[in-house]
Amino acid sequence: MLKECANMWMVEPLKLVCEDIFQKRYPEMLYSDLLLYFEHAYSVDDNELMRIVSEGLHSDIKNMAIPKEIYELRSDVFKEYLNVIKYAVTEKCRFQMVEKYVDIHGLELDQNQSDLNKCEGHGLVNQREENLGTSKDLPVESIRNLNFCDANSECLRPSSKKIDSNYIKTMVNLIDYAQMTINEFNEGPANSNLIPLEDRVYITANTY
């Protein structure tokens, strides 16, 4: 991406040209293009671009099917994206997106890790905290090398079960289960291998 090169080489005139082109294209931009800019903005810490693109991603997702391109995002960027679309789609939908992402990238939950099997109800029930700003601390890296992966970004590579489990735990904790109906919970999270049995019981007992 030309703007990525402009940032990398600190060529300000080229960067300004790219920003001008973006402003002209933005109103008619495809969702897949917005995702590319979203990942780029996250990678280079461009807060203003992040703000603009996030607004578009949040608004447009309300009126469309979930695009397959979101599952090509790096793991840290995918987490950020889930925060961006909160309230734009249902919590049931966000949970299904987590399940699909985990499945596509072959991530595994290590059920033998005692620390992950302990019931951490406060994190699972009280999900109204904003998680923006913490996503870069995620240790997990996914399987594929994707766009905008450079020396300053968290490139994705195969991860251990422990890292997978930590990432999965972080992702399921983003979901506000209180916003699901009991039927939605029973049809999804209650039967999901992504949530340890103890946590499923805790959520049910303290939410419904």
pLDDT tens-digit readout, 11-34: 566 666 667 777 788 889 999 999
Q: Which of 42, 197, 207 is nearest to 133 (CA)?
A: 42
Please give the backbone phi and psi of residue 89, each rounded to the nearest 5 degrees, phi first. Answer: -130, 165
User: What's the rounded Cα separation, in Å, for the pair 135 and 191?
Assistant: 27
Burial class (CB in 10 A: 0-12, 13-18, 19+), 72: buried
pLDDT of 153 strictly over 70: no
pLDDT of 134 strictly over 80: no
Greater pLDDT, 205 or 117: 205
User: What's the rounded Cα separation, in Å, for the pair 196 and 136?
Assistant: 25
In this prediction, residue 171 carries a pLDDT of 97
- Token pair in block for residue 110: 């290590």
User: What's the rounded Cα separation, in Å, for the pair 87 and 71?
Assistant: 19
Please give the backbone phi and psi of residue 112, each rounded to the nearest 5 degrees, phi first. Answer: -90, -5
Average model confidence (pLDDT) across the chain = 78
The lowest-confidence range among 37-51, 60-74, 148-162 is: 148-162
pLDDT of 125 strictly over 90: no
Confirm if 78 and 100 have CB atoms less than 8 A apart. no
pLDDT of 44 strictly over 90: no
**53: amino acid identity, one letter:** V
Which pLDDT band, with edges at 50, 70 and 90, does 9 fall under? low
**pTM of the entire predicted model:** 0.72
